[in-house]
């Protein structure tokens, strides 16, 4: 089989329908499978997939397993030469998945591939970043990236100088459309299920790079991404708490106890600022 498309869904039934329709209507010439792992959406997503897309395999969980663990359950069942992790709030233009497989086959040195990500209005959505540093993540945790976006540590992490017009090797690509070669999965294993949400694809790219595998971006493939629709339903401070937990896990794994402890120290202030931002937003709406 050429390609396994893995989609983890949480409470975005209508967007999931559009995503699946784009896959089945726009993909020709490939032997592929689609596996939808539903994280206890309870919004009719499972029933919709079964009724409208009977070719798709469904893994229906009775609880929210998080992004990494749900992906892992689906990847373990997959059979494709390549595995594409695709967000449910994406749409694949005609021929996009065929192009992904073509790119991977023409470039056997590429272990992880990320396409060009577009906003629904057709504008570019930045999808390439460098590996996070303690400085960049502390600035983000303290919301300082909103006040000082041009700080060197932030610009480097966000790859502000990256040229999206040409294919090139990079540190990490966005998990919204994340293609992995089967050989890499066999070599380094599945996603780290200790990440509930955020940093799981960063960690995977880092683990791949540490073993000498290459991560690439190429603009010849385009995917539309609505962006943050699932976790846009989560209250701000709760999202911050999950982000902080994932950041601590990443830095403990890849930078050691000292930087983990630095993130622990700023956690109370980070959560206070998240609550303040949520309160201010609520006040503006009322």
**Sign of torsion over alpha carbons 233, 234, 237, 240:** negative
pLDDT < 50 positions in the chain: 231, 234
pTM: 0.94
Q: Are strands 82-86 and 3-9 parallel, antiparallel or unpaired?
A: parallel
The fold for domain 3-126+162-228 equals Spore Coat Polysaccharide Biosynthesis Protein SpsA; Chain A (3.90.550)
Q: Can you give the residue ranges of every domain in the chain?
A: 3-126+162-228, 133-157+234-281
Distance CA 28, CA 198 (A): 32
- Report CA 269 to chain centroid distance, whole Å: 27
Hey, which residues does 86 pair with through a beta bridge?
A: 177
């Amino acid at each position: 089989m050429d390609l396994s498309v893995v989609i983890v869904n949480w409470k975005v039934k209508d967007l999931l329908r559009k995503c699946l329709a784009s896959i089945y209507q726009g993909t020709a010439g490939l032997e592929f499978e689609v596996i939808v792992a539903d994280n206890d959406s309870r919004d009719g997503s499972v029933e919709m997939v079964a009724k409208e897309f009977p070719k798709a395999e469904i893994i229906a969980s009775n609880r929210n397993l998080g992004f990494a663990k749900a992906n892992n359950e689906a990847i373990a069942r997959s059979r494709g030469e390549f595995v594409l992790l695709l967000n449910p709030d994406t749409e694949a233009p005609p021929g996009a998945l065929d192009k992904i497989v073509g790119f991977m086959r023409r470039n056997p040195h590429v272990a992880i591939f990320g396409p060009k990500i577009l906003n629904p209005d057709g504008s570019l959505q930045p999808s390439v970043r460098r590996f996070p540093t303690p400085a960049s993540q502390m600035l983000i945790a303290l919301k300082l990236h909103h006040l000082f976006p041009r700080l060197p540590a932030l610009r480097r992490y966000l790859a502000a100088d990256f040229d999206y017009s040409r294919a090139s090797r990079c540190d990490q690509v966005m998990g919204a459309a994340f293609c992995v070669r089967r050989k890499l999965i066999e070599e380094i294993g599945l996603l780290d299920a200790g990440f509930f949400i955020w940093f799981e694809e960063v960690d995977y790219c880092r683990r791949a790079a540490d073993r000498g595998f290459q991560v690439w971006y190429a603009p010849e493939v385009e995917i539309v991404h609505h962006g943050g629709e699932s976790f846009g339903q989560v209250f701000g401070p709760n999202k911050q708490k999950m982000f902080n937990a994932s950041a601590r896990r990443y830095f403990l794994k890849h930078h050691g106890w000292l930087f983990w402890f630095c993130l622990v120290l700023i956690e109370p202030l980070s959560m206070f600022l998240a609550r303040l931002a949520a309160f201010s937003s609520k006040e503006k709406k009322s």
